[in-house]
Amino acid sequence: MSDDIIAPLENYIINQIIKQPKRALKPDEPLISSGLIDSFNLVDLALFVEDTFGVRMDDSELNTQTFDTLDQLTALIHSRRS
Amino acid sequence: MPTFSDILKNHYEHEPEKVSVYLLHSGQPDFPLTYRQLIRGSAGYAGTYARQGLQPGEVIVLILHHGVDLLYAYFGAVLHGAIPAIMPFLTEKLLPERYRADLASLVSVTQPSAIVTYPDFESEVRAALKPGDPVRSVIISDQVVSPCEPDFLTLSGLKRKPEDIALLQHSSGTTGLQKGVALSHQAVFNQLESYRLALHMQADDVFVSWLPLYHDMGLIACYLMPILLGYPLVLMSPFDWVRAPYRLLQAVSRYKGTLSWLPNFAYNFSAQKIRDRDLEGVDLSSWRAISNCSEPMRWESHQAFYERFRTFGLRYEALTTCYAMAENVFAVTQGGIEGQVVVDKVDRDSLQIDRVARPPVNGKATIKMLSTGRPIHNVTVRAVDSHGKDVPDRQIGEIVLKSDCMLTEYYHRLDVTKKAFLDGWYLTGDFGYIADGEVYVTGRKKDLIIVGGKNIYPQDLEQLAMDVPGVHLGRVVAFGIFNETTGTEDVVLAAEVDETDVYERQRIADQIRQVVTRGSAVALRYVHIVSKHWLVKTSSGKTARSANREKFLAEMQKTGQVF
């Protein structure tokens, strides 16, 4: 999957959301269901995705049914860009 | 003095076709619910409770999402004369086994006779119950009697007395769930009558809310008040709001909303995370009172909110304040209705060190304190010292109050109820000062963390962290630190370990985060791993949370980290 998507996503999440820059995220690590990304941060993540990749996510998509891991979110962004 | 059921009957008979609640769900059309529909739906639930053999005066716990089922189940309990108590639903963050433990602790103290939930959550509920529990029935939302004509002659809710307990209200976590605030019909009506006057309520008022109903601000101000007093309520789900905060503003515009209540963080959250494209055509000029309530309020948050939305018609006078607590049903004070909220500029050092609110000193740091307003007319407020004696105006003391709308008791917790009062005055556990009749809240005496308006008991978090291998039993402390950006408190946890290896310490910190988040649904901003004997203890061996908080802040300052 595209590195140009996953790397900035991971970078944003560890630096801006969970604020643990030293932490690495596995591509298949659950983000929402694990509690790593708080519901208060989902709107930030959606705005970041829109600004960075030009892909708009609807608020009804900000849940584990749509994505829970970096891999899944990357796939979603990838499919909407192409 | 009426009871809730008398009022519902009155609405049903006199204005059945009036819309009581507009239910909003993301991705679905708005759903208007008339009093007739609301009460017929509730009558179906009341019939179910009766069939299940539930008695008036018994407690029914509701575990339902925002939606019609919750509304019907709630007022169904009222019509049946039972006592409804809403328990938050399981979230993705919380481990199911922790949720079960919390539910079990609620059941053990509150002794409910029934729990209402959805079919797919039944097994979770049953798993929390054990033989000998008082719960006689688990009622499933799809097996409830259909909405039907209420028979007011036989409904037991109409036989309740004003002094009977009308409802229970819990705060979250293990500790909060064991301390249900029991409120009588009379207390609720005394509050509503007094608060209605304080808000200058008028015929065209429309309430708009996204607040959860298990919270006093959501339950009283944004649910019972409009429904019982007969004002339209536009109700959206907290889950939808947190993902799309612009929906609240769109709803205000669409329904010409006039009244809302928000915790302080929501002002920052809205100002920072809403884009103009989601506000096309939005007109906020109908909004006349947006009351900042339920966590420490900041002048800066009001400014940010106003600056962000003034071009959409938001009026500065609409930014109001309120000091409230479940033990007083809701409001203690209200500010900003009869003129702008009073802002008291004070010298920071005097306030923080001498505990006196003095005028600013040239060249020294000042704080702009937002007044919470004046006590509503049925409430008397004092600020007292540790002996219960009044402190002079502008001097910080503990805020105590007396009213005709106090709780009946912490349900089944006579010990806790007794400790909450001194000579008939309710001890709020909040610090503050009074100046020219205005009440300012400056801090907290009690060890409580408030994140986004939600009360969190530090002992619940500490208990969870102590289960992590490598952490010393009893050597953990949790406290809150205000975050200027988010406008609410961050939770910090310090834990003593023997481990000295940096990577091992990081691993323990990660594990603490995970265990605490999944055990309490509270995210930790910072986990501070320290060596043995770091924590400050009192002479009796108890953890001194405020002293540890000071120590943490001092260390952060030394290392250049800003908190």
Contact predicate B512/B530, CB 8 Å: no
Q: List beta partners, residue B321.
A: B292, B335
Looking at the complex, does the CB of residue B109 fall below 8 Å from at least one CB of chain A?
A: no
| CA–CA min distance B82, chain A (Å) | 34
Compute CA B229 distance to the chain's CA centroid, rounded to the nearest angstrom.
21
Whether B561 shows a pLDDT value over 80: the answer reads no
In chain A, residues with a C-beta closer than 8 Å to the C-beta of B273 are 43-44, 47
* Residue A28 CB-density burial (10 A; 0-12 exposed, 13-18 middle, 19+ buried): exposed
Whether B275 shows a pLDDT value over 90: the answer reads yes
Q: Please report, as a single letter, which amino acid is at residue B89.
A: F
| Dihedral angle over CA of B520, B107, B216, B283, nearest 10 | 70
DSSP string, B137-202: EEEEGGGSPPS----TTT-GGGG--TTSEEEEE--SHHHHHT-PEEEEHHHHHHHHHHHHHHTT--
Contact (CB<8Å) B92/A62: no
In chain B, residues with a C-beta closer than 8 Å to the C-beta of A47 are 273, 275
| CA–CA min distance B149, chain A (Å) | 36
- Alpha helices for B2-67 (secondary structure H): 4-14, 35-51
Whether B396 shows a pLDDT value over 80: the answer reads yes
Pairing of strands B438-444, B181-184: unpaired
Give the dihedral sign, CA B321/B258/B71/B28: negative
Q: Which whole number is the average pLDDT over B467-477? A: 92
Task: Tell which CATH classification among 2.60.120.10, 3.40.50.720, 3.30.300.30, 3.30.1490.20 matches the domain B457-558.
Answer: 3.30.300.30
| CA–CA min distance A42, chain B (Å) | 6
| CA–CA min distance B242, chain A (Å) | 6
In chain B, residues with a C-beta closer than 8 Å to the C-beta of A62 are 243
Selecting from A23, A59, A64 the residue whose C-beta is nearest the C-beta of B244 gives A59
Buried b (16+ CB within 10 A) or exposed e, B480-497: bbeeeebbbbbbbbbbbb
Q: Please report, as a single letter, which amino acid is at residue B142.
A: D
pLDDT for B563 equals 57
Contact predicate B25/B31, CB 8 Å: yes
**Model confidence pLDDT, tens digit, residues B414-461:** 999 999 999 999 999 999 999 999 999 999 888 899 998 888 999 999
Looking at the complex, does the CB of residue B563 fall below 8 Å from at least one CB of chain A?
A: no
Whether B557 shows a pLDDT value over 90: the answer reads no
Contact predicate B206/B222, CB 8 Å: no
Residue of chain B minimizing CA distance to A59:
B243
**Model confidence pLDDT, tens digit, residues B366-382:** 999 999 999 999 999 99
CB pairs under 8 A between A and B: 48
| CA–CA min distance B215, chain A (Å) | 18
* Residue B556 CB-density burial (10 A; 0-12 exposed, 13-18 middle, 19+ buried): middle
The CATH number given to B4-189+196-241 is 3.40.50.12780
| CA–CA min distance B513, chain A (Å) | 9
DSSP secondary structure code for residue B364 in this structure: S
In chain B, residues with a C-beta closer than 8 Å to the C-beta of A33 are 92
Nearest to residue B79, comparing CAs of B1, B181, B147? B147
**Model confidence pLDDT, tens digit, residues B225-261:** 999 999 999 999 999 999 999 999 999 999 999 999 9
In chain B, residues with a C-beta closer than 8 Å to the C-beta of A45 are none
Helix/strand/coil (H/E/C) assignment for every residue in chain A: CCHHHHHHHHHHHHHHHCCCCCCCCCCCCCCCCCCCCCHHHHHHHHHHHHHHHCCCCCHHHCCCCCCCCHHHHHHHHHHHHC
Contact predicate B341/B321, CB 8 Å: yes
Whether A4 shows a pLDDT value over 60: the answer reads yes
**Model confidence pLDDT, tens digit, residues B122-139:** 999 999 999 999 999 999
Contact (CB<8Å) A34/B518: yes
Tell me the domain boundaries of chain A: 3-81
Whether B268 shows a pLDDT value over 60: the answer reads yes
**Model confidence pLDDT, tens digit, residues B277-293:** 999 999 999 999 999 99
More confident residue, A30 or B113: B113
Selecting from A32, A46, A59 the residue whose C-beta is nearest the C-beta of B92 gives A32
The CATH number given to A3-81 is 1.10.1200.10
Selecting from A22, A43, A58 the residue whose C-beta is nearest the C-beta of B273 gives A43
More confident residue, B353 or B8: B8
**Model confidence pLDDT, tens digit, residues B476-525:** 999 999 999 999 999 999 999 998 998 899 899 989 998 998 888 888 88
- Cβ neighbors of B554 (< 8 A, separation 6 or more) are none
Number of C-beta neighbours around residue B121 at 10 A? 18
Tell me the domain boundaries of chain B: 4-189+196-241, 457-558
Q: Which whole number is the average pLDDT over A25-52? A: 90
Contact (CB<8Å) A22/B506: yes
Number of C-beta neighbours around residue B435 at 10 A? 17
The ipTM estimated for the assembled molecules is: 0.91
Whether B541 shows a pLDDT value over 70: the answer reads no
Q: Which residues of A touch B (CB under 8 A)?
A: 19, 22-23, 32-36, 38-40, 42-44, 46-47, 58-60, 62, 64
Contact predicate B75/B83, CB 8 Å: no
Selecting from B245, B275, B523 the residue whose C-beta is nearest the C-beta of A38 gives B523
In chain B, residues with a C-beta closer than 8 Å to the C-beta of A43 are 242-245, 273
Classified as helix, coil or strand, B317 is helix
Q: List beta partners, residue B430.
A: B444
**What's the longest Cα–Cα distance across chain B?**
73
pLDDT for B562 equals 60
Whether B188 shows a pLDDT value over 80: the answer reads yes
Q: Which whole number is the average pLDDT over B49-58? A: 98
* Residue B281 CB-density burial (10 A; 0-12 exposed, 13-18 middle, 19+ buried): exposed
In chain A, residues with a C-beta closer than 8 Å to the C-beta of B244 are 43, 59
**Containing H/E element for B515?**
helix B502-520
The pTM (predicted TM-score) of the whole model is: 0.94
- What percent of chain B lies above the pLDDT cut of 70? 99
Nearest to residue B333, comparing CAs of B382, B383, B374? B374
Confidence of residue A2 (pLDDT cuts 50, 70, 90): low
Confidence of residue B93 (pLDDT cuts 50, 70, 90): confident
DSSP string, B197-246: HHTT--TT--EEE---TTSHIIIIIIIIHHHHHT--EEEE-HHHHHH-TH
| CA–CA min distance A20, chain B (Å) | 9
